[in-house]
Amino acid sequence: MELAFKVTAKIQRPVHDVFQAVYDPKKLSAYFTTAGASGPLDEGKTVYWDFADYPGKFPVFVRQVVPDNLITFEWGTTGEESQQPNATPADAPHNTRVEMTFAPIDADSTLVTISESGWRETPKDLKSSYGNCHGWTQMSCCLKAFLEYGINLRKGFY
């Protein structure tokens, strides 16, 4: 069984605005990467996402970008398990793949779909996939609140 998930959200804003809120580091930092994003999600680049409530910079390896339609990237698992006594190769850090699609529902609404895959079939990775599914669901809620109401749901959340 492949460990993967997909979350969706309807955002009441045009597709270009929704895409830019993820692509543009200033906008992304206003509701998600609360300690900053080092640059735009340009294809072939590595950017760093930092979260005020989850310290540490996370490298994001941008694989494909189709403006107003698609952002695909890879990022790594933490690898903390590989430093534990009796760690196995299955505990070594590895990348998962995130795909974000942006589809216009009409001129003023967008369907955002976020999927992530690439975990190993281990109890640790199963738990990690659940955590990331939670995180992407929360990110999509924060994106909606930011674009539709101008608020940052992450502020004071954790």
Whether pTM exceeds 0.85 = yes
Band of residue 80 on the pLDDT scale cut at 50, 70, 90: very low
Angstrom distance (rounded) from CA 5 to CA 119: 11
Q: CA–CA distance from 25 to each of 20, 28, 55, 108 (Å)?
A: 9, 5, 18, 23
CATH superfamily of 3-149: START domain (3.30.530.20)
Q: How confident is the model at residue 90 (pLDDT cuts 50, 70, 90)?
A: low
Mean pLDDT of 92-103: 90
Going from N- to C-terminal start, the domains of the chain cover 3-149
pLDDT score for 78: 55
Confidence band, pLDDT 50/70/90 cuts, at residue 21: very high
Collect all residues with Cβ–Cβ distance below 8 Å to 135 and sequence separation of at least 6.
Answer: none
